[in-house]
Amino acid sequence: MGQRCNTVRSIQAGSLDVVQKMSVALLGAALFLLLVEGNAMADTVNFDNAATGAAPEGWTLTMTGRGQPKWTVEVESTAPSKPNVLKQSGQATFPVALRNGTSILDGFVEVKFKAIAGSEDRAAGIVWRAKDADNYYVKGVRSALDIVGRKGGYGVKVSVPSGQWHSLRCEFAGKLFKVTYDGRPMFEVADESIRDAGMIGLWTKADSVTVFDDLTYGALN
């Protein structure tokens, strides 16, 4: 993805041959059974009890690359769960917010987001299995562009209008990943780059001004 890091993998979809697609479909079915039978327990963070105008407690607010990210809790009249949201309004290669105290190997992470502004980019993403700001999986979307991808990776086109709330979810178990956007399954893929449990979190890119709400996550029991 161009950043200076050890293992940052962006998960996308597309350009699979027929055999690969069949294999991924079977893996997706296995992932669904793991999540259902494993009984994933959920926690939700909506930032409504946090002080506004300041960084939230319980988070490592950092970045991949260079810059000055700015993560603050703000009042947002359109928030899915009023009144507060987490807002990223700084500039960095990839601003990252990692949820302290989380260590999930198999489970899910989901968030609602709205892209507000950005001349270079308008992006939002979810992070899982993060060791630190340089080692994690990320699934992101760019407003009005494609789901972000890296050269040689997977990609699918989807409209992500600015100024509207959307949802992004990833379910992961072992090497299997299933991504859902606005309640619609987008793709499934297998990857083994990061095999250890890690933190979940949020992600943006460049000068994206993005707000997040109702971050939900859980681990398989």
Please, what sign has the CA dihedral across residues 127, 119, 112, 36? negative
The phi and psi torsions of 18 (rounded to 5 degrees) equal -60, -45
The tokens 């562009």 sit on which residue?
A: 145
Between the alpha carbon of residue 57 and those of residues 49, 82, 99, 110, 148, the distances in Å are 11, 19, 9, 20, 29
Ordered domains of the chain (ranges, CATH): 7-69+83-219 (2.60.120.560)
Single-letter code of the amino acid located at 11: I
pLDDT at 199: 97
How high is the pLDDT of residue 197? 96
Residue 91 near residue 169, CB atoms below 8 Å = no
pLDDT 10s digits, 11-61? 443 333 433 444 444 455 555 555 545 556 789 999 999 999 999 999 999
Answer yes or no: are the C-beta atoms of 209 and 89 closer than 8 Å: yes
Give tens-digit pLDDT for 63-76. Answer: 999 999 999 999 99
Least confident of 10-19, 181-190, 204-213: 10-19
Find, among 6, 14, 21, the residue nearest to 152 by Cα: 14
Q: Does the pLDDT at position 185 exceed 50?
A: yes
DSSP of 4-23: S-SEEEE-------HHHHHH
Q: pLDDT tens digits, residue range 2-13?
A: 333 445 555 443
What sign has the CA pseudo-torsion 53, 89, 68, 104? positive
pLDDT tens digits along 116-157: 999 988 889 999 999 999 888 888 876 433 333 333 445 567
